[in-house]
Amino acid sequence: MELGIHLPLMEFGDEGLSLARLTRAVDAARECGFASVSANDHFLFGTPWLDGPAALAAVVERSGAMELATTVALVSLRGPVQLAKTLAALDVLSGGRVIAGMGLGFNPAELATVGLRIEDRVEILRETVEIARLIWKENNASYRGEIFSFEDVTIEPKPVEPIPIFCGGSTRAAIRRAAEYCDGWIPGRVPMATFDDRINYLRQLTDRKITLGNIPITRIDKDRKKARASIDVEALAESSEGSGHWIKPPSGKFQTIEDLEGLLIVGNPDDCAAEIEKFRARDVEHLVFDLRLQYDRFEESLELIGKELLPRFQDS
Per-residue pLDDT at 12 exceeds 70: no
pLDDT value, residue 110 = 78
Segment 86-139, tens digit of pLDDT = 999 999 999 999 999 998 877 788 778 888 888 998 999 999 999 999 999 999
pLDDT value, residue 224 = 97
Alpha helices in 190-230 (DSSP H): 192-205, 224-228
pLDDT value, residue 75 = 62
Alpha helices in the chain (DSSP H): 19-32, 52-58, 80-94, 108-113, 121-137, 172-181, 192-205, 224-228, 233-237, 269-281, 298-308, 310-313
Most trustworthy range by pLDDT among 42-51, 142-151, 306-315: 142-151
Across 239-250, average pLDDT = 88
**CATH number at 2-313:** 3.20.20.30
Segment 290-312, tens digit of pLDDT = 999 998 899 999 999 999 999 99
pLDDT value, residue 40 = 86
pLDDT value, residue 13 = 63
Band of pLDDT at residue 263, cut at 50, 70 and 90: very high
Burial class of 86 by CB neighbour count within 10 A (0 to 12, 13 to 18, 19+) = buried
pTM: 0.94
What gap in Å lies between CA 123 and CA 197, rounded to an integer? Answer: 25
Mean pLDDT of the chain: 92
pLDDT value, residue 226 = 97
What residue spans define the domains of the chain? 2-313
